[in-house]
Chain A
């Protein structure tokens, strides 16, 4: 197990180094000059040059990369070129916001999707299965901005039941924060439901057909016990991997949802940074989302290996 963990950890470090190079290189490819972009098209050339010099955007690209990585290794995330404040002061709250939304979306989405998928599998071929499968597929096929706009128009504008802006006023209670986050979380649930439910359904059908399930039934175990101890334990293995891959998306990829609900999450921060050529914010944001993604995948691998010993044995060979 230790060797398995070490191998996974080593791979994560290599991935992070590669990610930092890709993020930095991609930022360099963005069109425009940092100073010109921050100061605008009508700024004088003199003030643009002054800005670039003051903010360290000069010299060869590799030396700029070296300065950035050097600062990162010393815990200094740098200063936002756009706002001229420490990146940590902007990324921290944004990451916290993204975690809150992702958590609520998971709380709403995962139980509903898994239960839906398992019920569909148990009712395979019947109307209940078709309703769940077709609804899930339809919701997944609809782009998230369409789902979000429909929810905003119906529940926010027409009925005025829920706020259309996801950011609760400062100092709000947990209940109020949940109320503000409900619409975007619902939009995400609708997007993810079909995908996760389908995986749960497929896993359950496979487990129901497996020899160990047949043996358990023939042993005389109750249907409930067979389902809980043998079917679900095996059926949910692929679902865990699917859920883990969604963590990165939920934390850093919700640009459209965050824009529509005006929610200051890390996805929106990265998007704005890319638009405004705010190198430090963009590179650090991408790297942090990468770390979150790697950690989530690592946890999923651990869970997977705990539930399925063949994985860790395979890795150790």
Chain B
């Protein structure tokens, strides 16, 4: 063991590290997780690269190695196809659709950025540190960062951005911060220091400040709603210079970017509303990159020698909630289990995604999360057991039920697969496939049962699309906790509620896994929701595109991208 490294580590533990950092070091020394996970977790708690290097040296690991970046060819404008176009304005805190987050994300930056492996990288914050129970977080901001309108970014701007995210009724990030942060909890310490005083301990809080909260683009304190598309005022490598709703957008390289000079001169975005059109545009050489593709509609791109597919594992999934509170057979958990047991999940992901997907186990704990305990048995297709459960529940000959869902992506095909699968246990399933507009129409609060009258929160059984999150907290709090705002199954389990609260506040990975495993087992038994898969986020480009990586949420990050 390197004596000097050990001395520096002890010094760090004594003088700088708090209980959270020391727990992290102890866990790693005890072999609770590997080197890769240490680097990821150290990122969450804001431990600097030099301390990680010291820790690795002290514990006999090889030192940190940083990959050299491929020499990028400078110049050129990349042509990007985005589908679908932003559904409304471009004020970052109002983003709720793919087109808007991709469009704004090209120009905007966050305090931290989440990578494909869920590691957090410093962006507009250089470091962050929790107090002893992770209920208070202090962020140091990067000095001398310029906004594209000429101003200098400081603590006032970050405070204003987060107060707006948390407190503005039009903010689409409120669900992410609900129960975690209130406007009063965002405080300026000095010009380059921010403190977040949380409503409850949240060990994963830095993720909420990252690119996975895609609304959290840092804007000037004096930002006026409706001006994002008119005046360049973000901090990213490219500034938005023109925007035509539904048609396209143009970006030029921002000379004052804190990160230096981006290889590309600019970005030309064209919006598409048809999958065939955007696929043909890439194959016909009219665009270089498509921000998001689907396997089902972009098949000509797969296996094409002139196309490269960018893939990112994530937690994007479809939920099939079954109402537990109605007077129908779904009220019995054995019936819900039986339905889940009819699904041939490997065949489903092969059909729908050509295997570019992870299999789900009817809980929101995607395999991509380090806290997911993989020792919990995977649910497989088992028709014999399913029939036994149906008979035990008093439905040996099945029953009729309606599955309501939306015309989004592969969801109609999934609905048909479920319809065919449950036929094997005698269930006659009627499909009601609505437009997304009709599916999400109506109220979400109030009578008759607290979730208003919208189909997606009140149908006996449905399928809803859920986007990627770097940590599963939002899924737990909103879709599984009793009275959760998006709890479409109307499920309630006090034990799960308590475990979810413990999980969100747990600092040590072993504690997170302990709570997570218990929640997985409860959800497998109760089966309020079926989650058949977590599919990969896919993008596609021609062979000229270099240095691009897909993001699990679909952010298009081009500051290191170049054209060959």
Contact = CB atoms under 8 A, between A and B. Distances in A.
Contacts of B59: none
B174 A44 contact: yes
Given A37-B441, A41-B440, A85-B245, 11 more contacts: A30-B437, A39-B94, A41-B454, A42-B486, A47-B169, A51-B170, A84-B226, A157-B283, A160-B285, A164-B284, A277-B437
Residue from B94, B247, B456 having most chain A Cβ neighbours under 10 A = B247
Contacts of A165: 270, 277, 281, 284, 286
14 contacts: A32-B440, A32-B441, A37-B437, A41-B456, A42-B486, A45-B445, A47-B170, A84-B226, A156-B284, A163-B286, A165-B270, A261-B277, A262-B281, A276-B437
Interface string B369-406: 00000000000000000000000000000000000000
B291 to A, nearest CB: 14
A163 B280 CA distance: 10
A125 to B, nearest CB: 42
Contacts of A163: 284, 286
Interface string B86-100: 011100001011000
Contacts of A149: 276
Contacts of B441: 31-33, 36-37
Interface stretch (A205-213, A218-226, A246-254, A264-272): A264-272
Nearest to B466: A42
B274 A259 contact: yes
Contacts of B285: 160
Nearest to B178: A44
A20 interface: no
Contacts of A142: none
Interface of B: 85, 87-89, 94, 96-97, 169-172, 174-175, 226, 244-247, 270-274, 276-278, 280-281, 283-286, 434-446, 452, 454, 456, 464, 485-486
A167 B444 CA distance: 41
| Interface size range on A against B | 35 or more
B281 A164 contact: yes
A139 interface: no
Contacts of B286: 163-165
Given A36-B441, A261-B277, A262-B281, A80 B245 contact: yes
Contacts of B444: 44-45
Contacts of B277: 164-165, 259-262
A94 to B, nearest CB: 9
A164 B170 contact: no
Contacts of A93: 244
A82 B87 contact: yes
Contact of B280 (A30, A82, A156, A264): A156
A262 B439 contact: no
Contacts of B446: 45
A82 B88 contact: yes
Given A165-B281, A262-B281, A272 B437 contact: no
B208 to A, nearest CB: 16
Contact of B247 (A33, A51, A264): A264
Interface string A11-46: 000000000000000000011110011111111111
